[in-house]
Chains A and B, each alone.
Chain A
């Protein structure tokens, strides 16, 4: 069926969020040197975008209080860019002072979620994003925009695609370089993802879009597949599936990068990511966290390699 394959891109850029989105959900503080080593291992696997940390107040996210030190240690590592989250102008200035060359902002498509999670409504948040976008323009620092709750919100329920398109268009018009559409609570399926993407594609060019699906209901890979079929070519994921869902405790969050790469490899889509080296990065952080990996592909490949190899 050629039409199922026709629009799937030849190359997909993976934006690795494990070191930030993944680790920020960990209860126990991960030592700075472990974070730095993880980032370096991720870069060595071929990943070209590795989200490094977040310049938010340590009061809110104690895990990332070492943002400055982490960024200082990795910013000159070759072969990758290291975007950092900046919730407001203050965070942006701190990030730039620490050597950041790429930042990210994160409005929500849901008004209630925006107020509850970020303490300000969508419009106020977009105003902050505009401030950062202007400040970064003069420094030629690209700004990535995340939109959360693009399918469903824990408070409002289903989110209308037109709301997502509104926020996406606002970000695009203020000069945001890439817009990552996040299914924050993982409730999306192709039935809801397609209308959402269609609404956004009406107002933002496809090469500016990325998808950020959570695997809370096990739906991430099929949502990614449908996004690829629609021509999306940038996918966010987290090594070993680091990062739980804060709304359904114990449930999973981010989709595992290894599982995404496995599927892309199978589709013949290039990523430049070496799955073995990626698994090595995953092993490293999981050993430190004292937990098994959240990636099924990594679990399977580890078992198969060990079993078969030991017979030789």
Chain B
């Protein structure tokens, strides 16, 4: 209800000093929510309590920007830029950063430098750096380059599996059994991704039972975590909840992660409802790197900064420093010559700019 020009903000100066060392501290918007015993309306108390009580105290963020994010870029990003991005992300408190993918450069030219990237970063301390490995050959190349954690990716949709990785779901699962067997020998953890968990660009809506089937197959073959991906971003809480219920019926909740795309702007509500159901691992991409390959020009990954902002507000720990995260996002944004895909980063950057006028 503003009147535009008449108001010049002097933000964040009085009383609560939220500007610390040039980094805006948004923790004053976190929740110190107490479930008050004294309530007029008991139904309301129970309801609100129900919304919050199932949520985890800590959420692990799996940062996929350097792989899922960059692999969609048309222009080849120089190897040293990729390495620098990973280093910056590593300084934010993120504990898992997907570094690259050992797929054929014929399919993903952007990640042809997988070996070089991996060799440069694999010794980063305290950080897990999973890499994608579509088959045994990729797995062996990854291990040779120093990888200590890998990931495989099956689809809940048969059509998408065929068009995206050139084989049926069953064939892909066989390939991955070979990978998990080899990985087990070397005590290398394997993460399993399931794509198209809500909708498929070819088939349309995907039945929850199919998602559960593929998730269980990956879990049974030894994947330590299953990341459920809404590849085309069509999910809403209305479709996400039944899908999660079907999967959670046969795969333990603590083994699950969610990977929502923000193509229709729905990823944060989808993440929220997943948290309410007890999910405690969320995939996201710094600055929202990574477009949607099926609706050109539309966005893809959800921005890590926006996710961390919400989690901070919910009082959920992540160990991620949002200021340092924004700095990593700024870095890659400058390299790519594009503004951030994170609304939080844009807003906090502007607010900081105002504060600097003091």
How far, in angstroms, from A225 to B262 measured CA to CA in the complex?
16
The reply to whether A157 and B310 form a contact with Cβ atoms under 8 Å apart is no
For A266, give its contact among B30, B239, B312 (CB under 8 Å).
B239
The reply to whether B266 and A218 form a contact with Cβ atoms under 8 Å apart is no
Q: Which residue of A lies closest to B265 (CB)?
A: A296
Q: Which residue of A lies closest to B235 (CB)?
A: A266
Q: Which residue of A lies closest to B31 (CB)?
A: A191
Given the known inter-chain contacts A146-B1, A157-B28, please indicate yes or no for A4 contacting B241, CB distance below 8 A: yes
The reply to whether B347 and A245 form a contact with Cβ atoms under 8 Å apart is yes
**Hey, what's the 0/1 contact readout for A2-17 against B, CB within 8 Å counting as 1?**
0111010000000000
Given the known inter-chain contacts A116-B7, A186-B347, A251-B347, please indicate yes or no for A296 contacting B263, CB distance below 8 A: yes
Q: Distance in Å from the Cβ of B201 to the closest Cβ of chain A?
A: 8
Q: Distance in Å from the Cβ of A148 to the closest Cβ of chain B?
A: 5
What residues of chain A lie closer than 8 Å to B11, measured between beta carbons?
154-155, 247
The reply to whether A226 and B309 form a contact with Cβ atoms under 8 Å apart is no
Judged by a CB distance under 8 angstroms, whether A234 is at the interface is no
For A300, give its contact among B7, B51, B295 (CB under 8 Å).
B295
Question: Interface size of A by Cβ–Cβ distance < 8 Å?
Answer: 78
The reply to whether A195 and B266 form a contact with Cβ atoms under 8 Å apart is no
What residues of chain A lie closer than 8 Å to B325, measured between beta carbons?
none
The reply to whether A1 and B309 form a contact with Cβ atoms under 8 Å apart is no
Given the known inter-chain contacts A195-B33, A217-B343, please indicate yes or no for A189 contacting B15, CB distance below 8 A: no
Residues 31-75 (chain A) with a chain B CB within 8 angstroms: 56, 60-61
What residues of chain B lie closer than 8 Å to A117, measured between beta carbons?
1-3, 6-7
Q: Which residue of B lies closest to A116 (CB)?
A: B7
**Hey, what's the 0/1 contact readout for B207-242 against A, CB within 8 Å counting as 1?**
000000000000000000000000001011111010
Q: Distance in Å from the Cβ of B224 to the closest Cβ of chain A?
A: 25
The reply to whether B343 and A252 form a contact with Cβ atoms under 8 Å apart is yes
What residues of chain B lie closer than 8 Å to A22, measured between beta carbons?
none
Given the known inter-chain contacts A189-B310, A266-B235, please indicate yes or no for A304 contacting B294, CB distance below 8 A: yes
How far, in angstroms, from A195 to B51 measured CA to CA in the complex?
12
Q: Distance in Å from the Cβ of B355 to the closest Cβ of chain A?
A: 11
How far, in angstroms, from A262 to B322 measured CA to CA in the complex?
29
Residues 333-357 (chain B) with a chain A CB within 8 angstroms: 342-344, 346-348, 350-351, 354
Judged by a CB distance under 8 angstroms, whether A229 is at the interface is yes
Q: Distance in Å from the Cβ of A210 to the closest Cβ of chain B?
A: 14
How far, in angstroms, from A158 to B54 measured CA to CA in the complex?
26
**Hey, what's the 0/1 contact readout for B143-173 against A, CB within 8 Å counting as 1?**
0000000000000000000000000000000
User: Other CB < 8 Å A-B pairs besides A158-B28, A191-B313, 13 of them?
Assistant: A157-B15, A182-B1, A188-B29, A190-B52, A191-B31, A194-B31, A195-B33, A217-B309, A218-B309, A218-B344, A219-B313, A262-B264, A296-B263
**5 closest Cβ pairs, A-B complex:** A266-B236, A189-B313, A191-B31, A296-B265, A218-B343
Seen from chain A, the residues whose Cβ lies within 8 Å of a Cβ on chain B are 1, 3-5, 7, 21, 24-25, 56, 60-61, 85, 106, 108, 116-118, 146, 148, 151-152, 154-158, 182, 184, 186-192, 194-195, 198, 201-202, 215-219, 221-222, 224-226, 229-231, 245-252, 256, 259, 262-263, 265-268, 295-297, 299-301, 303-304, 307
